[in-house]
Each structure stands twice: as structure tokens, then as C-alpha cells.
């Protein structure tokens, strides 16, 4: 997809100033949507690797800053993106919300339940919007699936089944470290745990978790993890990820890997839903007894950043395709509680720690 270019003149009409902390690989994925925003102007960027902040300042506008504090103290910055590794997020998020900045963070919220709990408390005590981006953010296919399930025409979502297989991350030194991030589930499958919870639209009641190592004793984490999450009123998510197979790595500069995926959903009326490409068109295909119904993903009305800006301007709720900080806390708690009770079907407790 061609990258939208930064439009210097358009920046004059942009009303919301944004600061970016962390100019690593995730910003590479986000830069197109940020550049395309009609309402948000990048004012300041910081990364301890100064050349990265300089490079993205040239691309997106704004000025490279001397420190994270310089961005957080900047009165022209209303929204702060925390695109840093998870183990660095808490201190920055606490400072940001204390300074009255709205926050766009990214999964996983933090490496420990305690740190995530602190972030929830601070964000909820402040009069700001605080969200955590996941893979479902800005995803038209998943938003259309949500509409279909809410509309009820195919019944309720009963089974959400997803497998991911790719090489372990090699573009940084923290992703495979459970103290700073986690294993494959915390690092990647947590995206799909959040999606499953969103699409089910009802609480998780029980969870069973497995974590094993099959091929990488050299890593600090296990290479294969599985969660079965059961939902109120029936319904289950089966989420499996493995880094055991050394699939292709196209570049160690960023997330550029061979990726194998299986995803299907089944409703309580026996419809199976899959995402398919037919004649170059992306479709959601629902099938039952050999009959098909096709759903075209409905394009989202604006970039995520513009929809977030609108929420800031109107004091409205967060866009639907992004969870708040508490939902992101709950994802981390599910994973960590599961890890502490491997193989046990446990009743889920998503309360905030320390309360």
C-alpha cells in the first residue's frame, strides 16, 4: 500500500497536537495512518535512539525532542502515543495522564498485572482518554464481523478459533523476555484474545492455559502457548500460538516474517465465518450446509487517529475498535493468571489488583 505523504499545508488546519514516544518498529506500521490524519498534527517525537526520532520527524512533521519529559511537558501536545516496549510503559503513562495528556498506548499494556493495575488507576483518576491499540484497531473486517454478530442474523458467536505460527521476534532484545514482555501469547496472541472478547460481547468466565517449550530452550520464554477462554452463556475461544517452527525471517530490522494463520468462527446457529479473498476482493464468508452468505467489510469512516481526535474534541467515548486501558489490563491478567495455573480450568477474576 503506498504511504500517504505528510502534507505540510494541511497541518495548519490540524487541531490536535500529538507527541510520539518510541519511534521503533510499531511506528513504522502506524506512520501511514498518522500521516493521513486530517485532525492530528505531530508536534514532538522522542526516542533515545535520536536518529529514529529525526527520521520520523522528517516524515510526519514535528520536532525531535531531547527527552520524554520534554514531550510530556509540551503544552502543544494534547495526545501522547506510547509506542515503547511494555516494560517502559508504566512510568511514561503515569506521567502523561498526570500531565493531562490523552494517551494512545499499544498492547500488551505492561509486563505485570501490578504495573497494569497502576496504569488503570492513574488513567481512570485522570480526566483523559486512554486507550490501547491492538490488531483489531482500524480493522474493517473485524468491525463488520462485530456488526454481523450484534445484528443476530447468523446467531451469536459460539466458537472463535485462531492459530498463529511465526518466528520469534528478532528485531529487539525484550520481546522474548517474560520479565519485560512475555512469551508468544503475551507478545502476539493477546491481540486475538482481545478480539475474541470483543466479538463475543460477554464476559470470560473460565480460562485454561498451557505453556510449553518444544524447540527453543535458548529462549527465556516457552515457544508454544494455548488458551481456552470460556464465555458467559456458552461460547469459547481457542487460541494457539507457536514459535517452535523456525519460519522465514525476511528482515531482523522489524516485524517482517512469514506468518501462518488459521481463523474461523462458528455461531450458535451453525454458521461458520472465515475471511477470504476472491477475485481480489476481501470478503467475510459465512457458510452453512453448503450455502454461503457474503459480507463486504465496511470501510471505517476515517483513520483511527481522526476518530480518536473526534473523541478528544467531543469528550465522547473511545472509538469502538480500540479497548480502554482496563480491558487491556484484563487481557494481561488473564494471561498471567493462566500462566500461574497451567492446565487448570480456573474461574476468572478480572478485578483490579490491590483493591
Ligand X SMILES: NC(=O)c1ccc[n+]([C@@H]2O[C@H](COP(=O)([O-])OP(=O)(O)OC[C@H]3O[C@@H](n4cnc5c(N)ncnc54)[C@H](O)[C@@H]3O)[C@@H](O)[C@H]2O)c1
Of the candidates 184, 166, 163, 341, the one whose C-alpha atom is nearest the C-alpha of residue 239 is: 163
Least distance between ligand X and beta carbon 145 (Å): 20
Least distance between ligand X and beta carbon 42 (Å): 14
Alpha helix positions (H), the chain: 25-36, 50-60, 68-72, 89-98, 113-125, 140-151, 184, 190-200, 304-314, 325-340
CA angle 319, 134, 195 (to 5 degrees): 85
Of the candidates 156, 139, 159, 276, the one whose C-alpha atom is nearest the C-alpha of residue 285 is: 276
Least distance between ligand X and beta carbon 1 (Å): 16
Residue (21 or 318) nearer to ligand X, CB: 21
Least distance between ligand X and beta carbon 106 (Å): 4
Residue (72 or 283) nearer to ligand X, CB: 72
Residue (29 or 264) nearer to ligand X, CB: 29
* φ, ψ of residue 25 in degrees (nearest 5): -65, -35
Least distance between ligand X and beta carbon 335 (Å): 13
Helix, coil or strand: residue 15: coil
Residue (49 or 296) nearer to ligand X, CB: 49
- Nearest residue relative to ligand X (C-beta): 24
User: Given the rule CB under 6 A, which residues bind ligand X?
Assistant: 21-26, 29, 46-49, 52, 68, 83-86, 88, 106-107, 171-172, 255
Of the candidates 189, 188, 242, the one whose C-alpha atom is nearest the C-alpha of residue 212 is: 242
Residue (68 or 103) nearer to ligand X, CB: 68
Amino acid at each position: 500500500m503506498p504511504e500517504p505523504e505528510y502534507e505540510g499545508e494541511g497541518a495548519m488546519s490540524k487541531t490536535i497536537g500529538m507527541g510520539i514516544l518510541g519511534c521503533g518498529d510499531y511506528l513504522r506500521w502506524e506512520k501511514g495512518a498518522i500521516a493521513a490524519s486530517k485532525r492530528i498534527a505531530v508536534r514532538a517525537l522522542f526516542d533515545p535512539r535520536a536518529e529514529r526520532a529525526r527520521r520520523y520527524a522528517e516524515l510526519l512533521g514535528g520536532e525531535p525532542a531531547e527527552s520524554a519529559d520534554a514531550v510530556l511537558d509540551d503544552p502543544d501536545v494534547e495526545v501522547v502515543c506510547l509506542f515503547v516496549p511494555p516494560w517502559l510503559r508504566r512510568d511514561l503513562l503515569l506521567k502523561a495522564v498526570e500531565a493531562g495528556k490523552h494517551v494512545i498506548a499499544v498492547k500488551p499494556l505492561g509486563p505485570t498485572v501490578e504495573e497494569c493495575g497502576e496504569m488503570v488507576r492513574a488513567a481512570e483518576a485522570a480526566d483523559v482518554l486512554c486507550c490501547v491499540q491492538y490488531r483489531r484497531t482500524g480493522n474493517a473486517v473485524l468491525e463488520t464481523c462485530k456488526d454481523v454478530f450484534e445484528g443476530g442474523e447468523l446467531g451469536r458467536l459460539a466458537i472463535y478459533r485462531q492459530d498463529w505460527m511465526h518466528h520469534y521476534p528478532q528485531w529487539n532484545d525484550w520481546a522474548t523476555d517474560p520479565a519485560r514482555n512475555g512469551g508468544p501469547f503475551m507478545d502476539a496472541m493477546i491481540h486475538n484474545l482481545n478480539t475474541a472478547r470483543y466479538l463475543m460481547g460477554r464476559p470470560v468466565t473460565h480460562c485454561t492455559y498451557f505453556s510449553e517449550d518444544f524447540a527453543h530452550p535458548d529462549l527465556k520464554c516457552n515457544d508454544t502457548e494455548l488458551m481456552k477462554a470460556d464465555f458467559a452463556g456458552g461460547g469459547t475461544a481457542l487460541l494457539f500460538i507457536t514459535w517452535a517452527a523456525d519460519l522465514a525471517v525476511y528482515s531482523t530490522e522489524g516485524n517482517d516474517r512469514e506468518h501462518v494463520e488459521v481463523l474461523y468462527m462458528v455461531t450458535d446457529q451453525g454458521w461458520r465465518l472465515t475471511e477470504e479473498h476472491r477475485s481480489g476482493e476481501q470478503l467475510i464468508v459465512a457458510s452453512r450446509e453448503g450455502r454461503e452468505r457474503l459480507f463486504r467489510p465496511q470501510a471505517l469512516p476515517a483513520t483511527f487517529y481522526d476518530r480518536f481526535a473526534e473523541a478528544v474534541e467531543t469528550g465522547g467515548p473511545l472509538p469502538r475498535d480500540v479497548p480502554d486501558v482496563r480491558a487491556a489490563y484484563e487481557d494481561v491478567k488473564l494471561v498471567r493468571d493462566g500462566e500461574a495455573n497451567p492446565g487448570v480450568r480456573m474461574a476468572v477474576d478480572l478485578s483490579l489488583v490491590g483493591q
